[in-house]
Amino acid sequence: MALAQKNPIFGCISWGKRYLLPLREHTDCVMQIVVEHSEALRGEVQVPGAKNSVLKLMAVTLLAEGEYRLTNVPDIADVDTMCDLLRALGVQSKKVGTHELVLTNSGNITPVAPFEFVDRIRASINVLGPLVGRYGSADIAMPGGDDFGSRPIDLHVAGLEAMGARFELNKDGIRATAKRLQGASIELKFPSVGATENILTAAVLANGVTVIDNAAREPEIVDLCNMLVAMGAQIEGIGTSRLVIHGSKKGSLRGVRHAVINDRVQAATYIAAVAIAGGDVQVRGARPEHMEMVINKYTQMGVSIYPQRDGLRVTAPERLTAIDFATLPYPGIATDYKPLLVAMNSISSGVGIVTENLFPGRFRYIEELCKLGADIRIDGHHAVIKGVDHLIGTAVTAPDIRAGAALVVAGLAAHGETVISEIHHIDRGYDDLVGRLSGLGADVTRV
């Protein structure tokens, strides 16, 4: 009974590593992840499809009637939420096995996105462009998702207004209307991923040509453009900061089959796990061409990364070396990698200075890392991380998707047991993180 007694959090019966919860308490029991200090990781892990691509690919099924088959779909909670949202709008979805999704748009679309779904994920805002572009109106609550402080949508609105949409703000959110969107030249004051995606997906059915300058260039945007082109859209400059979209007639686009690109952030998470716990691992399906900057940073920290035919081989150094870095839009260091790099810096030799340029409020996990014994000071949108010899396991809380995963990874190097709560955040964006890490020999369990 030692463990249960040692861990009042659980207040339940322990059976080896599996916690058997008395049924009565099941409803108000929260799922947690327990990480023990792990030996070196070995073997191979498959990188799943990308959350930040699949959700946008699902939203463009609103653009045209027909059947869409998405493969390499990650088994994550956000996909289920997007399915619920699309169902409420009129697009039916069916899972085929775990990683394939069939979506059917039979033309009965009601362009009203209910708060209950929109509030759960940021990507819900991505139905705005297709709805206004295809149906001339959209009623949407303000999007939710990870709390990084203010996450405005002014660039989305300004871009669609430039194409002739009219916006009203009401108690339930925003209403956008447009007889038919007109092509326009739009220069984004910041290469916003979401704004680029909404303007792009609205422009494919606009009258005339739309040019987006200073467009975001993330691999997920390229994946979206490739699916739109397969549907019949005409887009030039894919992968560059200038996208030129030649509007097509309504009814000229069609359903397609599309394989979602692999998730570069999940790939980076498994590399960080090896870097922190030690070992030698094949990260299958990692796309080095999508991860150049983060691979450079990992290499500067002493991690050895070898491109392979279908991924990367990763081996860890004796001790990591701290680095400085700043988050930037693609191809810079993505802000989504930052919690992983901060966790690595926290047990590295030396001091690293990190600057957050996209979401100044995205430091909420620092407090949790400090509970594990990390030495980190925040100064505005900078963090100074002084590497410590080791972390010490304790109870921590996941504040969002990426930070949650970084706490799991940090726990692999912590002495003792790290218990992570609020793991629904992790489930939103990670496809079986616990199973994939335990497959590499990590001592990680869901309880």
Residue with the shortest CB distance to ligand EPZ: 194
Q: Which stretch binds ligand EPZ (CB under 6 A): 50-58, 276-284, 373-381, 414-422?
A: 50-58
Of the residues 195, 277, 295, 444, which one makes contact with ligand EPZ according to CB under 6 A = 195
Query: What crossing angle do the helices spanning 51-59 and 77-89 adopt, rounded to 10°?
Result: 10
Rounded to 10 deg, the angle between the 401-411 and 264-277 helix axes is 20
Give the number of residues in contact with ligand EPZ, rule: CB under 6 A: 26
Binding string to ligand EPZ for residues 214 to 253, with x set by CB under 6 A, is what?
Answer: --x-------------------------------------
- Active-site residue among 78, 146, 400, 427? 146
Compute the least distance from the CB of residue 369 to ligand EPZ, in Å. 17
Residue 306 touches ligand EPZ, criterion: CB under 6 A: no
Q: Counting contacts by CB under 6 A, is residue 336 touching ligand EPZ?
A: yes
H or E stretch covering 447: none
Residue of 431, 404, 425 lying closest to 122 (CA atoms): 425
Q: Which long-range CB contacts under 8 A does 97-101 form with residues at least 24 apart? A: 99/48, 99/49, 99/71, 99/72, 99/73, 99/74, 99/75, 100/69, 100/70, 100/71, 100/73, 101/58, 101/69, 101/70, 101/73
Q: Which of 36, 139, 146, 263 binds ligand EPZ (CB under 6 A)?
A: 146
146 labelled catalytic: yes
Q: Which amino acid is at 24?
A: R
Per CB under 6 A, 338 contacts ligand EPZ: no
Instruction: Say if residues 65 and 81 touch (Cβ distance below 8 Å).
Output: no
Shortest Å distance, C-beta 398 to ligand EPZ: 12
Asked if 140 is part of the footprint of ligand EPZ (rule: CB under 6 A), the reply reads no
Identify which range of 107-115, 188-196, 234-242, 277-285 contacts ligand EPZ by CB under 6 A: 188-196
Bridge partners, residue 282, by sequence: 44, 313
Residue 210 in contact with residue 163, Cβ under 8 Å? yes
Whole-angstrom Cα Rg for the chain: 22
- Asked if 335 interacts with ligand EPZ (CB under 6 A), we say yes
429, 433, 446, 447: residue in contact with ligand EPZ (rule CB under 6 A): 429
d(CA 364, CA 200): 32
Binding ligand EPZ (rule: CB under 6 A), the pick from 122, 217, 290, 338 is: 122
- Residues in the site for ligand EPZ, rule: CB under 6 A? 51-52, 55, 122-123, 146, 151-156, 190, 192-195, 216, 334-336, 358-359, 401-402, 429
